Amino acid sequence: MALLLSAGMAYVIGSLPFGFWLAKARGIDIQKVGSGNIGATNVLRALGPRAAVPVLIMDILKGFVGAALAAQISRATGGNPSLAAVIGGLAAFAGHNWSFLLGFRGGRGVATGAGAALYVLPYGVLLGVTVLVAVVFVTRYVSLGSILAAASVAAYALAVPFPPERRIFALAAASVIIYKHRPNIGRLLSGTESKFGQRIGSAKTPPAGDGHV
């Protein structure tokens, strides 16, 4: 029961659409701009870094708090904190991607997944961030960096002797992130993907880049 309760709480935390709310406060429906996603990358393209940075931080915190809260509840009730952290982290990740407050729409989970991984696989996050920064620096494609970062964390979890639930976390989160980047993969292959730093207008134009996080 405690595990189900903590998972539900983590899902609600993950569902809090900070990118949507911040954009709405500035008179913009972020779901009608660019990709329509609520993540920091779409907010960056629509509103610039002063709006995107707080969204990024809050989305990361959603994942971390979801995992940490579940672990603490499990520890207090005599459960398995490691398993609870994984379930809580995945629940927060799911909440960001499929928020009940937005008709089960959301972002792509990179930032919230990274936040959960900070608790579950902290050194994996360091590897993922390094890959992300390096790829974006060289190519200026946030989508490519996000995909390769997710894949690198999954590979790290498989290469290091972690408990099975932590490996499942990494594989599940990476699979969802890569799956949700299908449109970006198509544009990368066709050479039409937008690069980091490009801004978009108020019309919903998918080629202008997606809210990857």
What pLDDT was estimated at residue 2?
Answer: 87
Tell me, yes or no, whether 113 lies in a domain.
yes
> How many domains is the chain partitioned into structurally?
1
Residue range 40-62, pLDDT digits in tens: 988 988 899 999 999 999 999 99
What pLDDT was estimated at residue 213?
Answer: 57
Tell me, yes or no, whether 87 lies in a domain.
yes
Tell me, yes or no, whether 34 lies in a domain.
yes
Predicted model pTM: 0.89
What pLDDT was estimated at residue 125?
Answer: 95
Tell me, yes or no, whether 208 lies in a domain.
no
What pLDDT was estimated at residue 209?
Answer: 43
Which residue ranges in the chain fall short of pLDDT 70?
197-213
Tell me, yes or no, whether 121 lies in a domain.
yes
Cα 33 to Cα 49, 84, 95, 195, 213, distances in angstroms: 16, 36, 21, 17, 15
Kindly report the three-state secondary structure assignment for every residue of the chain: CHHHHHHHHHHHHHHCCHHHHHHHHCCCCHHHCCCCCCCHHHHHHHHCHHHHHHHHHHHHHHHHHHHHHHHHHHHHCCCCHHHHHHHHHHHHHHHHHCEHHHCCECCCCHHHHHHHHHHHCHHHHHHHHHHHHHHHHHHCCHHHHHHHHHHHHHHHHHHCCCCHHHHHHHHHHHHHHHHHCHHHHHHHHHCCCCCCCCCCCCCCCHHHCCCCC
Tell me, yes or no, whether 127 lies in a domain.
yes
What pLDDT was estimated at residue 198?
Answer: 64
What pLDDT was estimated at residue 78?
Answer: 92
Tell me, yes or no, whether 209 lies in a domain.
no
Domain that holds residue 26: 2-199
Amino acid type, 62 = K
**Is the separation of the CB atoms in 112 and 60 below 8 Å?**
yes
